[in-house]
Chains A and B, each alone.
Chain A
Protein backbone atom coordinates (compact mmCIF):
# COMPACT_ATOMS: atom_id res chain seq x y z
CA UNK A 1 0.00 0.00 0.00
CA UNK A 2 1.46 3.39 -0.90
CA UNK A 3 2.23 5.85 1.86
CA UNK A 4 -0.19 8.69 2.41
CA UNK A 5 1.39 11.90 1.12
CA UNK A 6 -1.33 14.53 1.40
CA UNK A 7 1.23 17.34 0.95
CA UNK A 8 1.95 16.73 -2.73
CA UNK A 9 -0.75 19.16 -3.87
CA UNK A 10 0.56 22.19 -1.95
CA UNK A 11 1.72 24.63 -4.65
CA UNK A 12 5.30 25.89 -4.77
CA UNK A 13 6.28 23.57 -1.92
CA UNK A 14 8.44 20.46 -1.64
CA UNK A 15 8.14 18.55 1.61
CA UNK A 16 11.47 17.08 2.67
CA UNK A 17 10.32 13.53 3.31
CA UNK A 18 12.25 10.27 3.40
CA UNK A 19 12.19 10.00 -0.39
CA UNK A 20 13.64 13.50 -0.89
CA UNK A 21 16.13 12.90 1.91
CA UNK A 22 17.39 9.74 0.24
CA UNK A 23 17.88 11.56 -3.07
CA UNK A 24 19.59 14.47 -1.39
CA UNK A 25 21.85 12.76 1.13
CA UNK A 26 25.18 13.62 -0.52
CA UNK A 27 24.01 17.11 -1.53
CA UNK A 28 22.91 17.92 2.01
CA UNK A 29 26.02 16.42 3.58
CA UNK A 30 28.15 18.55 1.23
CA UNK A 31 26.24 21.55 2.60
CA UNK A 32 26.95 20.42 6.17
CA UNK A 33 30.66 20.36 5.40
CA UNK A 34 30.49 24.13 4.83
CA UNK A 35 29.97 24.64 8.56
CA UNK A 36 33.76 24.40 8.90
CA UNK A 37 35.68 27.54 7.98
CA UNK A 38 38.48 25.60 6.25
CA UNK A 39 35.96 23.83 4.02
CA UNK A 40 34.27 27.12 3.14
CA UNK A 41 37.66 28.42 2.04
CA UNK A 42 38.41 25.36 -0.06
CA UNK A 43 34.95 25.49 -1.67
CA UNK A 44 35.30 29.17 -2.50
CA UNK A 45 38.77 28.62 -3.98
CA UNK A 46 37.52 26.01 -6.48
CA UNK A 47 33.84 25.17 -6.25
CA UNK A 48 33.83 22.54 -8.96
CA UNK A 49 36.81 20.67 -7.52
CA UNK A 50 35.29 20.71 -4.05
CA UNK A 51 31.95 19.41 -5.35
CA UNK A 52 33.72 16.63 -7.23
CA UNK A 53 34.87 15.23 -3.90
CA UNK A 54 31.23 14.38 -3.14
CA UNK A 55 29.16 11.52 -4.58
CA UNK A 56 26.56 13.96 -5.89
CA UNK A 57 24.83 13.75 -9.26
CA UNK A 58 25.98 16.07 -12.03
CA UNK A 59 22.57 17.79 -11.89
CA UNK A 60 23.01 18.46 -8.16
CA UNK A 61 26.49 19.91 -8.71
CA UNK A 62 25.23 22.16 -11.50
CA UNK A 63 22.33 23.36 -9.38
CA UNK A 64 24.76 24.28 -6.58
CA UNK A 65 27.13 26.07 -8.98
CA UNK A 66 24.17 28.04 -10.38
CA UNK A 67 22.85 28.71 -6.84
CA UNK A 68 19.48 27.53 -8.15
CA UNK A 69 17.87 26.66 -4.83
CA UNK A 70 14.57 25.52 -6.35
CA UNK A 71 16.49 23.01 -8.44
CA UNK A 72 18.56 21.96 -5.42
CA UNK A 73 15.34 21.30 -3.50
CA UNK A 74 13.82 19.35 -6.39
CA UNK A 75 16.96 17.18 -6.35
CA UNK A 76 16.68 16.38 -2.65
CA UNK A 77 18.15 19.45 -0.97
CA UNK A 78 16.63 20.86 2.21
CA UNK A 79 16.63 24.55 2.97
CA UNK A 80 18.29 24.22 6.38
CA UNK A 81 21.21 22.44 4.73
CA UNK A 82 21.25 24.68 1.65
CA UNK A 83 21.43 27.65 4.01
CA UNK A 84 25.08 26.72 4.61
CA UNK A 85 25.79 27.63 0.97
CA UNK A 86 24.06 30.94 1.54
CA UNK A 87 26.12 31.55 4.65
CA UNK A 88 29.27 30.78 2.69
CA UNK A 89 28.18 33.36 0.11
CA UNK A 90 27.32 35.86 2.84
CA UNK A 91 23.58 35.77 2.10
CA UNK A 92 20.78 35.94 4.63
CA UNK A 93 17.86 33.52 4.93
CA UNK A 94 15.62 36.23 3.51
CA UNK A 95 17.81 36.63 0.44
CA UNK A 96 17.84 32.88 -0.04
CA UNK A 97 14.09 32.45 0.40
CA UNK A 98 13.40 35.39 -1.88
CA UNK A 99 15.65 33.94 -4.59
CA UNK A 100 13.26 31.01 -4.98
CA UNK A 101 10.27 33.19 -5.81
CA UNK A 102 11.58 35.02 -8.86
CA UNK A 103 11.00 38.30 -7.05
CA UNK A 104 13.80 40.79 -6.61
CA UNK A 105 15.27 41.12 -3.15
CA UNK A 106 13.46 44.44 -2.66
CA UNK A 107 10.13 43.06 -3.89
CA UNK A 108 10.36 40.10 -1.55
CA UNK A 109 11.35 42.24 1.43
CA UNK A 110 8.47 44.62 0.71
CA UNK A 111 6.05 41.70 0.54
CA UNK A 112 7.22 40.53 3.98
CA UNK A 113 7.01 43.99 5.52
CA UNK A 114 3.51 44.23 4.04
CA UNK A 115 2.42 41.12 5.98
CA UNK A 116 3.84 38.32 3.85
CA UNK A 117 2.39 36.16 1.12
CA UNK A 118 -1.32 35.47 1.39
CA UNK A 119 -2.49 31.89 1.77
CA UNK A 120 -5.51 32.69 -0.40
CA UNK A 121 -5.22 30.83 -3.68
CA UNK A 122 -2.06 29.15 -2.43
CA UNK A 123 -3.47 26.24 -0.45
CA UNK A 124 -3.85 23.74 -3.29
CA UNK A 125 -2.55 23.24 -6.80
CA UNK A 126 -5.15 24.49 -9.26
CA UNK A 127 -6.10 27.66 -7.40
CA UNK A 128 -4.98 31.07 -8.66
CA UNK A 129 -2.59 32.40 -6.00
CA UNK A 130 0.80 33.93 -6.74
CA UNK A 131 2.72 30.76 -5.79
CA UNK A 132 0.95 28.64 -8.41
CA UNK A 133 3.00 27.24 -11.30
CA UNK A 134 1.12 29.20 -13.96
CA UNK A 135 2.09 32.45 -12.25
CA UNK A 136 5.84 31.71 -12.07
CA UNK A 137 8.22 33.35 -11.91
CA UNK A 138 6.80 36.09 -9.75
CA UNK A 139 7.91 39.68 -9.62
CA UNK A 140 8.98 41.87 -12.49
CA UNK A 141 12.05 39.88 -13.54
CA UNK A 142 12.04 38.65 -17.11
CA UNK A 143 11.25 34.93 -17.24
CA UNK A 144 14.40 32.86 -17.27
CA UNK A 145 14.99 30.60 -20.20
CA UNK A 146 13.59 27.17 -19.49
CA UNK A 147 12.03 28.32 -16.22
Chain B
Protein backbone atom coordinates (compact mmCIF):
# COMPACT_ATOMS: atom_id res chain seq x y z
CA UNK B 1 0.00 0.00 0.00
CA UNK B 2 1.10 3.55 -0.65
CA UNK B 3 1.81 5.79 2.33
CA UNK B 4 2.50 9.42 3.08
CA UNK B 5 5.93 9.56 4.68
CA UNK B 6 6.33 13.28 5.17
CA UNK B 7 4.91 16.72 4.47
CA UNK B 8 6.87 19.73 3.30
CA UNK B 9 5.76 23.36 3.54
CA UNK B 10 7.35 26.26 1.74
CA UNK B 11 6.67 29.65 0.23
CA UNK B 12 6.87 29.85 -3.57
CA UNK B 13 7.84 33.44 -4.35
CA UNK B 14 8.48 34.08 -8.10
CA UNK B 15 11.56 36.20 -7.33
CA UNK B 16 13.19 33.09 -5.80
CA UNK B 17 12.79 31.41 -9.18
CA UNK B 18 14.27 34.43 -10.91
CA UNK B 19 17.24 34.42 -8.48
CA UNK B 20 17.88 30.75 -9.32
CA UNK B 21 17.46 31.27 -13.07
CA UNK B 22 19.76 34.31 -13.11
CA UNK B 23 22.45 32.74 -10.91
CA UNK B 24 21.99 35.16 -8.00
CA UNK B 25 21.65 32.64 -5.16
CA UNK B 26 24.99 33.53 -3.56
CA UNK B 27 24.34 37.28 -3.58
CA UNK B 28 24.10 38.90 -0.14
CA UNK B 29 20.36 39.50 -0.52
CA UNK B 30 19.56 35.87 -1.37
CA UNK B 31 22.25 33.92 0.45
CA UNK B 32 20.43 33.71 3.84
CA UNK B 33 17.32 32.40 2.14
CA UNK B 34 19.03 29.63 0.21
CA UNK B 35 21.07 28.70 3.29
CA UNK B 36 17.77 27.86 4.98
CA UNK B 37 17.13 25.20 2.33
CA UNK B 38 20.53 23.51 2.42
CA UNK B 39 19.35 21.01 5.02
CA UNK B 40 16.23 20.38 2.95
CA UNK B 41 18.17 19.50 -0.19
CA UNK B 42 20.22 16.97 1.76
CA UNK B 43 17.07 15.64 3.37
CA UNK B 44 15.46 15.18 -0.06
CA UNK B 45 18.47 13.10 -1.15
CA UNK B 46 18.09 10.77 1.83
CA UNK B 47 14.27 10.77 1.82
CA UNK B 48 13.59 10.61 -1.88
CA UNK B 49 9.89 9.89 -2.44
CA UNK B 50 8.34 7.94 -5.30
CA UNK B 51 5.77 10.68 -5.87
CA UNK B 52 5.23 14.25 -4.65
CA UNK B 53 1.65 15.43 -4.25
CA UNK B 54 2.22 19.15 -4.64
CA UNK B 55 -0.44 21.58 -3.43
CA UNK B 56 0.02 25.03 -4.93
CA UNK B 57 -1.92 27.78 -6.57
CA UNK B 58 -1.99 28.83 -10.17
CA UNK B 59 -1.30 32.57 -10.51
CA UNK B 60 -3.55 33.45 -13.45
CA UNK B 61 -1.47 31.17 -15.65
CA UNK B 62 -3.28 27.94 -16.57
CA UNK B 63 -6.58 29.28 -15.23
CA UNK B 64 -7.77 32.70 -16.38
CA UNK B 65 -11.12 34.14 -15.34
CA UNK B 66 -12.72 31.87 -17.94
CA UNK B 67 -12.58 28.99 -15.47
CA UNK B 68 -11.83 29.15 -11.76
CA UNK B 69 -11.74 25.68 -10.21
CA UNK B 70 -11.53 25.68 -6.42
CA UNK B 71 -9.60 22.41 -6.34
CA UNK B 72 -7.95 21.00 -9.49
CA UNK B 73 -5.97 17.76 -9.63
CA UNK B 74 -3.55 17.12 -12.47
CA UNK B 75 -3.94 13.66 -13.96
CA UNK B 76 -1.71 14.27 -16.99
CA UNK B 77 1.48 12.39 -17.86
CA UNK B 78 3.51 15.59 -18.14
CA UNK B 79 3.30 19.35 -17.61
CA UNK B 80 5.35 22.09 -19.19
CA UNK B 81 6.72 25.12 -17.30
CA UNK B 82 4.49 28.07 -18.21
CA UNK B 83 5.35 31.37 -19.84
CA UNK B 84 4.10 33.76 -17.14
CA UNK B 85 4.99 36.81 -19.20
CA UNK B 86 8.76 36.71 -18.66
CA UNK B 87 9.18 33.59 -20.84
CA UNK B 88 9.04 29.98 -19.51
CA UNK B 89 11.41 29.20 -16.62
CA UNK B 90 14.39 27.09 -17.74
CA UNK B 91 13.44 24.13 -15.55
CA UNK B 92 12.70 20.50 -16.44
CA UNK B 93 9.25 19.43 -17.52
CA UNK B 94 7.20 17.97 -14.70
CA UNK B 95 6.40 14.30 -15.07
CA UNK B 96 3.04 13.35 -13.59
CA UNK B 97 1.69 10.17 -12.09
CA UNK B 98 -1.63 9.66 -13.89
CA UNK B 99 -2.45 6.34 -12.19
CA UNK B 100 -2.12 7.56 -8.61
CA UNK B 101 -3.64 10.94 -9.49
CA UNK B 102 -6.72 9.30 -11.01
CA UNK B 103 -7.02 6.99 -8.03
CA UNK B 104 -6.88 9.94 -5.62
CA UNK B 105 -9.40 11.89 -7.70
CA UNK B 106 -11.88 9.03 -7.65
CA UNK B 107 -11.47 8.39 -3.93
CA UNK B 108 -11.59 12.04 -2.87
CA UNK B 109 -14.62 12.85 -5.04
CA UNK B 110 -16.42 9.90 -3.51
CA UNK B 111 -15.55 11.47 -0.17
CA UNK B 112 -17.57 14.57 -1.18
CA UNK B 113 -14.75 16.86 -2.39
CA UNK B 114 -15.70 18.01 -5.87
CA UNK B 115 -12.34 18.16 -7.63
CA UNK B 116 -11.82 19.43 -11.15
CA UNK B 117 -9.80 16.92 -13.15
CA UNK B 118 -7.17 18.45 -15.40
CA UNK B 119 -5.51 16.50 -18.20
CA UNK B 120 -3.72 19.41 -19.82
CA UNK B 121 -2.13 22.44 -18.18
CA UNK B 122 1.13 24.30 -17.83
CA UNK B 123 2.55 24.77 -14.35
CA UNK B 124 3.81 28.10 -13.04
CA UNK B 125 6.28 29.24 -10.38
CA UNK B 126 3.90 28.14 -7.65
CA UNK B 127 4.86 24.57 -8.48
CA UNK B 128 8.37 24.86 -9.89
CA UNK B 129 9.93 27.15 -7.25
CA UNK B 130 9.29 24.68 -4.38
CA UNK B 131 10.81 21.91 -6.53
CA UNK B 132 13.94 24.04 -7.03
CA UNK B 133 14.17 24.89 -3.34
CA UNK B 134 14.07 21.23 -2.30
CA UNK B 135 15.74 19.57 -5.29
CA UNK B 136 18.10 22.21 -6.66
CA UNK B 137 18.38 22.59 -10.42
CA UNK B 138 18.73 19.05 -11.82
CA UNK B 139 18.35 17.94 -15.45
CA UNK B 140 15.18 16.12 -14.45
CA UNK B 141 13.08 16.34 -11.28
CA UNK B 142 13.80 13.39 -8.98
CA UNK B 143 10.33 11.84 -9.12
CA UNK B 144 6.85 12.23 -10.59
CA UNK B 145 4.69 15.07 -9.26
CA UNK B 146 0.92 15.33 -8.97
CA UNK B 147 -0.01 19.01 -9.26
CA UNK B 148 -2.95 20.03 -7.09
CA UNK B 149 -4.04 23.61 -7.75
CA UNK B 150 -6.17 25.53 -5.25
CA UNK B 151 -7.99 28.75 -6.08
CA UNK B 152 -6.60 31.46 -3.82
CA UNK B 153 -6.93 34.22 -6.44
CA UNK B 154 -10.65 34.96 -6.46
CA UNK B 155 -12.34 35.30 -3.09
CA UNK B 156 -13.77 33.29 -1.45
CA UNK B 157 -10.99 30.75 -1.39
CA UNK B 158 -11.70 27.44 0.37
CA UNK B 159 -11.72 27.70 4.16
CA UNK B 160 -8.93 26.38 6.32
CA UNK B 161 -11.33 23.78 7.69
CA UNK B 162 -12.23 22.59 4.20
CA UNK B 163 -8.57 22.33 3.27
CA UNK B 164 -7.72 20.44 6.45
CA UNK B 165 -10.55 17.96 5.84
CA UNK B 166 -9.50 17.55 2.22
CA UNK B 167 -6.01 16.61 3.38
CA UNK B 168 -7.53 13.82 5.43
CA UNK B 169 -9.41 12.53 2.40
CA UNK B 170 -6.19 12.62 0.36
CA UNK B 171 -4.36 10.57 3.00
CA UNK B 172 -7.15 7.99 2.93
CA UNK B 173 -6.98 7.89 -0.87
CA UNK B 174 -3.20 7.40 -0.92
CA UNK B 175 -3.39 4.63 1.66
CA UNK B 176 -5.90 2.74 -0.45
CA UNK B 177 -3.56 2.61 -3.46
CA UNK B 178 -2.19 -0.90 -3.93
CA UNK B 179 1.35 -0.14 -5.09
CA UNK B 180 3.77 0.44 -2.17
CA UNK B 181 4.64 4.03 -3.06
CA UNK B 182 6.40 6.47 -0.77
CA UNK B 183 4.41 9.70 -1.19
CA UNK B 184 5.25 13.14 0.13
CA UNK B 185 2.65 15.87 0.29
CA UNK B 186 3.77 19.47 -0.05
CA UNK B 187 1.82 22.59 0.88
CA UNK B 188 3.12 25.79 -0.66
CA UNK B 189 2.52 29.55 -0.74
CA UNK B 190 2.56 32.27 1.89
CA UNK B 191 3.68 33.33 4.39
CA UNK B 192 2.58 36.89 5.18
CA UNK B 193 2.56 39.13 2.14
CA UNK B 194 0.43 41.64 0.33
CA UNK B 195 1.08 42.54 -3.30
CA UNK B 196 -1.55 45.20 -3.83
CA UNK B 197 -2.68 48.64 -2.77
CA UNK B 198 -1.20 51.09 -0.27
CA UNK B 199 -0.83 48.23 2.26
CA UNK B 200 1.53 46.31 -0.08
CA UNK B 201 4.63 45.05 1.68
CA UNK B 202 2.87 43.95 4.85
CA UNK B 203 4.82 41.36 6.85
CA UNK B 204 3.79 39.91 10.21
CA UNK B 205 6.60 37.83 11.71
CA UNK B 206 4.85 37.15 15.01
CA UNK B 207 1.72 35.91 13.31
CA UNK B 208 3.70 33.78 10.85
CA UNK B 209 5.67 32.12 13.62
CA UNK B 210 2.52 31.43 15.61
CA UNK B 211 1.09 29.89 12.44
CA UNK B 212 4.13 27.59 12.20
CA UNK B 213 3.83 26.66 15.90
CA UNK B 214 0.17 25.81 15.55
CA UNK B 215 0.59 24.01 12.25
CA UNK B 216 2.93 21.64 14.07
CA UNK B 217 1.10 21.26 17.37
CA UNK B 218 -2.53 22.31 16.88
CA UNK B 219 -3.50 21.96 13.22
CA UNK B 220 -7.19 21.32 13.92
CA UNK B 221 -7.39 24.53 15.96
CA UNK B 222 -5.49 26.44 13.30
CA UNK B 223 -7.88 25.17 10.64
CA UNK B 224 -10.72 27.00 12.40
CA UNK B 225 -9.13 30.38 11.66
CA UNK B 226 -11.49 32.46 9.46
CA UNK B 227 -10.34 34.04 6.19
CA UNK B 228 -10.50 37.54 7.57
CA UNK B 229 -7.76 36.76 10.10
CA UNK B 230 -5.37 35.82 7.29
CA UNK B 231 -6.22 38.96 5.33
CA UNK B 232 -6.01 41.34 8.27
CA UNK B 233 -2.94 39.83 9.93
CA UNK B 234 -0.93 38.28 7.07
CA UNK B 235 -1.94 40.42 4.08
CA UNK B 236 -4.35 39.81 1.24
CA UNK B 237 -2.02 37.26 -0.39
CA UNK B 238 -1.21 35.61 2.96
CA UNK B 239 -4.45 33.72 2.40
CA UNK B 240 -2.34 31.25 0.38
CA UNK B 241 -1.47 29.66 3.72
CA UNK B 242 -4.75 27.72 3.72
CA UNK B 243 -3.00 25.40 1.28
CA UNK B 244 -0.58 24.32 4.00
CA UNK B 245 -3.55 22.87 5.89
CA UNK B 246 -4.22 20.41 3.06
CA UNK B 247 -0.75 18.92 3.51
CA UNK B 248 -1.03 19.01 7.29
CA UNK B 249 -4.43 17.27 7.20
CA UNK B 250 -2.81 14.34 5.39
CA UNK B 251 -0.44 13.56 8.27
CA UNK B 252 -0.91 10.43 10.40
CA UNK B 253 -1.67 12.13 13.74
CA UNK B 254 -4.81 13.73 12.33
CA UNK B 255 -6.18 10.20 11.82
CA UNK B 256 -5.20 9.08 15.33
CA UNK B 257 -1.62 8.08 14.51
CA UNK B 258 1.61 9.29 16.11
CA UNK B 259 2.67 12.95 16.11
CA UNK B 260 4.99 14.02 13.30
CA UNK B 261 8.63 14.84 13.90
CA UNK B 262 9.88 18.30 12.97
CA UNK B 263 12.87 17.61 10.72
CA UNK B 264 13.42 21.24 9.78
CA UNK B 265 12.01 24.71 10.40
CA UNK B 266 13.09 27.95 8.75
CA UNK B 267 11.79 31.50 8.51
CA UNK B 268 13.21 34.46 6.65
CA UNK B 269 12.17 37.99 5.66
CA UNK B 270 12.18 39.12 2.91
CA UNK B 271 12.11 37.44 -0.47
CA UNK B 272 10.94 40.33 -2.62
CA UNK B 273 7.55 41.23 -1.05
CA UNK B 274 7.15 38.10 1.01
CA UNK B 275 7.97 36.35 4.27
CA UNK B 276 9.37 32.88 3.59
CA UNK B 277 8.44 29.99 5.84
CA UNK B 278 9.52 26.38 5.54
CA UNK B 279 8.83 23.21 7.52
CA UNK B 280 9.49 19.52 7.05
CA UNK B 281 7.35 17.15 9.11
CA UNK B 282 7.99 13.40 9.05
CA UNK B 283 5.50 10.70 9.91
CA UNK B 284 7.17 8.19 12.25
CA UNK B 285 7.81 4.89 10.43
* A residues in contact with B61, CB < 8 Å: 35
Are A93 and B14 in contact, CB atoms less than 8 angstroms apart?
Answer: yes
For the complex formed, measure the closest distance between the CB of A38 and the CB atoms of chain B, giving whole angstroms.
12
Which residue among A34, A81, A88 has the maximum number of chain B CB atoms within 10 Å of its CB?
A: A81
8 A Cβ contacts from B198-244 to A? 198-205, 207, 226-228, 231-233, 236-237
Instruction: Out of B59, B196, B198, B204, name the residue touching A119 (CB < 8 Å).
Output: B204
Asked if B269 is at the interface (CB within 8 A of a chain A CB), the reply is: yes
Are A70 and B270 in contact, CB atoms less than 8 angstroms apart?
Answer: no
**One of B1-9, B111-119, B149-157, B277-285 contacting the partner:** B149-157
Asked if A146 is at the interface (CB within 8 A of a chain B CB), the reply is: no
Instruction: Out of A36, A84, A101, A133, name the residue touching B200 (CB < 8 Å).
Output: A101
For the complex formed, measure the closest distance between the CB of B58 and the CB atoms of chain A, giving whole angstroms.
9
Asked if B85 is at the interface (CB within 8 A of a chain A CB), the reply is: yes
8 A Cβ contacts from B139-198 to A? 153-156, 192, 194-198
* B residues in contact with A21, CB < 8 Å: 65, 154
Are A6 and B228 in contact, CB atoms less than 8 angstroms apart?
Answer: yes
For the complex formed, measure the closest distance between the CB of B83 and the CB atoms of chain A, giving whole angstroms.
6
* B residues in contact with A123, CB < 8 Å: 232-233
Instruction: Out of A24, A31, A101, A115, name the residue touching B205 (CB < 8 Å).
Output: A115
* B residues in contact with A116, CB < 8 Å: 192, 201-203, 269-270, 273, 275
Which residue among B60, B197, B236 has the maximum number of chain A CB atoms within 10 Å of its CB?
A: B197
Distance, CA A60 to CA B192, complexed state (A): 29
Q: Known contacts A35-B83, A78-B153, A94-B272; decide if A13 and B197 are in contact (CB<8 Å).
A: yes
8 A Cβ contacts from A39-63 to B? 40
* B residues in contact with A138, CB < 8 Å: 198
Are B200 and A97 in contact, CB atoms less than 8 angstroms apart?
Answer: yes
Asked if B27 is at the interface (CB within 8 A of a chain A CB), the reply is: no
B interface bracket (residues with beta carbon within 8 Å of A): 35 or more
Q: Known contacts A12-B198, A16-B153; decide if A78 and B60 are in contact (CB<8 Å).
A: yes
Are A119 and B195 in contact, CB atoms less than 8 angstroms apart?
Answer: no
Count chain A residues whose beta carbon lies closer than 8 angstroms to a beta carbon of B: 61
* B residues in contact with A7, CB < 8 Å: 155, 227-228, 231-232
Q: Known contacts A88-B85, A116-B269; decide if A97 and B14 are in contact (CB<8 Å).
A: no
Are A97 and B195 in contact, CB atoms less than 8 angstroms apart?
Answer: yes
Contact with A along B82-105 (1 / 0, CB 8 A): 111111000000000000000000
Asked if A65 is at the interface (CB within 8 A of a chain B CB), the reply is: no
Distance, CA A119 to CA B199, complexed state (A): 9
Q: Known contacts A17-B155, A93-B15; decide if A115 and B198 are in contact (CB<8 Å).
A: no
Instruction: Out of B154, B207, B236, B272, name the residue touching A93 (CB < 8 Å).
Output: B272
Give the nearest-CB partner of A85 in chain B: B85
8 A Cβ contacts from A95-136 to B? 96-98, 100-102, 108, 111-113, 115-119, 122-124, 131, 133, 136
* A residues in contact with B110, CB < 8 Å: none
For the complex formed, measure the closest distance between the CB of B159 and the CB atoms of chain A, giving whole angstroms.
13
Give the nearest-CB partner of A124 in chain B: B232
For the complex formed, measure the closest distance between the CB of B203 and the CB atoms of chain A, giving whole angstroms.
3
Are A100 and B60 in contact, CB atoms less than 8 angstroms apart?
Answer: no
Are A83 and B85 in contact, CB atoms less than 8 angstroms apart?
Answer: yes
* A residues in contact with B227, CB < 8 Å: 7
Distance, CA A82 to CA B87, complexed state (A): 16
- Closest 6 interchain pairs by CB? A116-B203, A87-B85, A12-B198, A12-B199, A131-B199, A80-B60
